[in-house]
Structure 1
Amino acid sequence: MTKKYYDSCECIWIEEKNTDGSENENFEPSIKGKLKSALQMPNIMVLAGSGTSLGGIVKGPRMWDLWISCTTDDMKKISEDCFNECKYDDKQDHNQNIEVCLSHCEAYLQVGEVKEKTEIFINKCKDIILNKCRFISDKEIQLSGHKEFIRKLARRKSKDPRVKLFTTNYDTCFEDAAGLLGITVIDGFSFSMPRIYDARFFDMDIVRRNTTSSSTNIHYLEGVYHLYKLHGSTNWSRDATSSYIIKQVENVKAEDSCMIFPAKGKYQQSYIQPHLELIARFSQSLREPNTCLIIAGFGFNDDHLSEPILSAILSNPHLKVIIVSTSIENDFDATPPKTSKYWKIFKKIADDRKNDEIIFINCDFQQFSSLIPDLTALSPAENLHENMKKLFGGTHA
């Protein structure tokens, strides 16, 4: 895949290779310079969508993969019985989508008189989706991009605000990658066993205390970051006796899972705890001054997340946004329902402002991870050097 980025200042695409196939020597310094500038913002937050778990060596399930798994082989007869019962036309191309299908089925449960086969289908689908999202078999190999991404973002001064990573993914890629690196994740769960969810843990931090000197001589632990799983996780389970108690356990069953499964009802379900708390913290972080927001592998199909982002872009004057996708040009040109309406909105804002507040990068997540500069904070001398280069028209390193 060709790496490229859209320069919102000049409204042109900067490509990794020249038209003759040779390497564009200005590509890496140019994009890394822009990323380095954006990522020096005090507050860094990330929104990671399903694209961060797709393609290459990661091999997470695509929406089409889930549709096929839920309608063929052992599920063929179950799905056909359901569609006959709830009057779902799966022969239409736009209906061959697991999210559209489950939305129709769940709506039918609210009004249908006979719904036994529809309930069976929905429960079977949830089991399949849960199992398909447990796809990690070789953490060292499959999570190399996630490891590089986390390692680089973690290299900030420990006194800086913690990086906040929000994800809609159910899988455990980011927390597993952090585990491989020995990096501590604050994810809203207790550090004791069993791990129980309590949003107050997001307001706590980890420090290193020097036992040989004064008790006030403490330092924040390096590399810690916050992880917010907006739609739940494959290892989140609601307690059978108290539904408000959420634990991290292995081999969660679909009926006990604390996940927002693909359906248009995601918006309504996001107002149920713990998702309500996570969405609230997402919206609050977008309003923080001097924030850099990285959006990777997210298609803007979830209005309950896209609308707060749009609102922040329009109202937060100190917000920088980096949008990473493998199909940005197509998303700009296509029209709904083939793509989200927000792509054209964000492109128009970038074109109108003609600055570096919004940067579009056309590459996959692993490629983007390699482009991120190490976030070691610049020393005063380095800051002076960078400012002198800008003043006299030099290029970014």
Structure 2
Amino acid sequence: MPVEIPPPAPPPPIPPPAPLPDTHKGHQAYLPPGANNWLPLTVEACALLRVDEAEPESLVRSSRAALTDMFSSALQVPNLGFFAGSGTSLGEAGGPSMWKLWQDAMCQPGTNTLTHRAEEVADAVRYAERDNPNIEHFLSQCDAYLAFNDDAAVSSFVSEVKALILTLCSRFIALPTSDISAYRDLLQKLARRRVRDPRLKVFTTNYDTCFETAASELGMVAIDGFSYTRKRRFDGRHFSYDIVRREADSHEFAEGIFQLLKLHGSVSWSRDGSEIYEDSAPTATNACLIYPAKGKYQQAFLQPHLELLSRFLEFLRQPNSCLVVAGFGFNDDHLSEPIYSALQSNPSLKLILCDYQCIHHVHNRGLFGSSSYWGKFHDLAKRGFDVHFLNGSFSDLTSQIPHLRTASPAEQLANAVKRIGR
């Protein structure tokens, strides 16, 4: 007679994060242990620090003073980079969130209920998550299913979802409600750095054209790897080119030039065989971008993404570098791990992390949707690595970035004396 084996016991529930320490008085008591460089940019952000009602304003003022000092030195390094994640396109810019992509692609209008067709495809690929669905996980499941099944219905649905993603990520910037002033502020301020230094490098995982539009409105030039011919074609060699102003027998580098590296592609790129061209209206099938899916890691090693990724890795290894990260959740391991590794091997690398839920992510340390890399960076900060955490939105950050310009020797001495006095 066979012995009946009982089913395994369910795993214990994940406990909620422990409350932040608040048993002592003073600002440090409200911070996670060892993180003495938390900089809340707004009064609302102070709520995550458990600050008493009488203290938020003073804490924000002191944080902004410390932020000014930090930026005055950090942003003057020769190699300056800005990394923009999907969070920079949310809010005022009006870009779609992952949840909106799921609702528009999978659900009946105005509801969270899947359409009949979406339900059939989800059942076919065995995607059963309904409480916390994710469009990236769903497309990953579809890709895995199609790798072993020739299913025309699933393939057609996936193509339609990708076309919708392309549309949502390209059209929002033309809406009257879209506000990209934070992008303009960022470029306008950082463009005034010394022209003899390497150009500002802007890395982004976003498909949209917010940076290109902001640069156009400011009359700035983005070196994005494409040729300057009528039909612009991608070639990594163009990142080595620059713009020089020539007058008579003299020449000097033009101001307001920056490099733009779109690591996951763009809604304005199309693929024609092995060539990549700028295209104002690519289709879902020929668009050159990495759609949300777990296969992003593998696709990042195809051209032109490999060229862009290699230049990102090269930047992280440069001495005297500063990388400012905003709106990035560190959920892409092929980008998060190089930053974490470079911080340990490059002693002169400065890392500034800005997110409105920054303290929440660090405190959860990989739980409740937060990446474990937040906790890893926090551990490095406690060990003395040059890591700073800013609790605020993208627009909060850009409003606090000073205008970069070459300071005179007298100004440099005065700023140094002020820092020593504080």
Same fold (TM over 0.5): yes
* 1:372 matched residue in structure 2: 401
> How far did 1:166 drift?
0.5
* 1:145 matched residue in structure 2: 182
1:85 equivalent in alignment to 2:114: no
* 1:100 matched residue in structure 2: 137
Among candidates 346, 370, 373, match of residue 339 of structure 1: 370
Among candidates 308, 313, 335, match of residue 343 of structure 2: 313
* 2:270 matched residue in structure 1: 237
2: CA distance, partners of 1:321 / 1:173 = 24
1:253 equivalent in alignment to 2:283: yes
Q: How does 1:270-281 map to 2 (within 5 A)?
A: 270-281=300-311
> How far did 1:27 drift?
2.9
2: CA distance, partners of 1:146 / 1:365 = 9
> How far did 1:138 drift?
5.1
* 2:105 matched residue in structure 1: 70
1:167 equivalent in alignment to 2:167: no
> How far did 1:23 drift?
2.9
2: CA distance, partners of 1:14 / 1:322 = 11
Greater alpha carbon shift after TM alignment, 74-83 vs 329-338: 74-83
* 2:8 matched residue in structure 1: none
> How far did 1:389 drift?
2.8
1:196 equivalent in alignment to 2:233: yes
Q: TM-score normalised to the size of structure 1?
A: 0.90
Q: Which has the higher contact order (CA 8 A, sep 6+)?
A: 1
Instruction: Check whether the contact 1:85–1:115 (CA below 8 A) recurs between aligned residues.
Output: no
> How far did 1:235 drift?
0.7
* 1:11 matched residue in structure 2: 36
1: CA distance, partners of 2:154 / 2:161 = 11
Among candidates 217, 220, 244, match of residue 207 of structure 1: 244
Q: How does 1:263-302 map to 2 (within 5 A)?
A: 263-302=293-332
1:382 equivalent in alignment to 2:399: no
Tell me, what secondary structure is at the counterpart of 1:375? coil
Report percent identity of matched pairs: 42
Instruction: Check whether the contact 1:49–1:169 (CA below 8 A) recurs between aligned residues.
Output: yes
2: CA distance, partners of 1:139 / 1:343 = 35
> How far did 1:47 drift?
1.1
Tell me, what secondary structure is at the counterpart of 2:115? helix
> How far did 1:203 drift?
0.5
Instruction: Check whether the contact 1:8–1:359 (CA below 8 A) recurs between aligned residues.
Output: no
Among candidates 42, 49, 58, match of residue 78 of structure 2: 42
Instruction: Check whether the contact 1:7–1:14 (CA below 8 A) recurs between aligned residues.
Output: no
Relative to structure 1, the CA distance from residue 276 to residue 29 in structure 2 (aligned partners, 3 Å threshold; closer, same or farther) is: same
* 1:158 matched residue in structure 2: 195
> How far did 1:13 drift?
4.0
| CA deviation profile, 1:204-248 (whole Å, cap 9, x unmatched) | 11000013xx2xx11000010000000000010011xxx211111
Higher alpha-carbon Rg: 2
1:228 equivalent in alignment to 2:257: no
Relative to structure 1, the CA distance from residue 245 to residue 10 in structure 2 (aligned partners, 3 Å threshold; closer, same or farther) is: closer
Tell me, what secondary structure is at the counterpart of 2:174? coil
1: CA distance, partners of 2:245 / 2:129 = 58
* 2:333 matched residue in structure 1: 303
Runs of 5+ in structure 2 lacking a partner? Answer: 1-29, 44-51
Greater alpha carbon shift after TM alignment, 140-149 vs 339-348: 140-149
> How far did 1:6 drift?
7.7
1:129 equivalent in alignment to 2:165: yes
* 2:22 matched residue in structure 1: none
> How far did 1:330 drift?
1.2
> How far did 1:11 drift?
2.2
1:59 equivalent in alignment to 2:90: no
Relative to structure 1, the CA distance from residue 10 to residue 338 in structure 2 (aligned partners, 3 Å threshold; closer, same or farther) is: closer
- The amino acid across from 2:261 in the alignment is Y
Runs of 5+ in structure 1 lacking a partner? Answer: none
| CA deviation profile, 1:257-292 (whole Å, cap 9, x unmatched) | 001000000000011100000000000000000000
| CA deviation profile, 1:168-191 (whole Å, cap 9, x unmatched) | 000000111000000011000111
- The amino acid across from 1:386 in the alignment is N
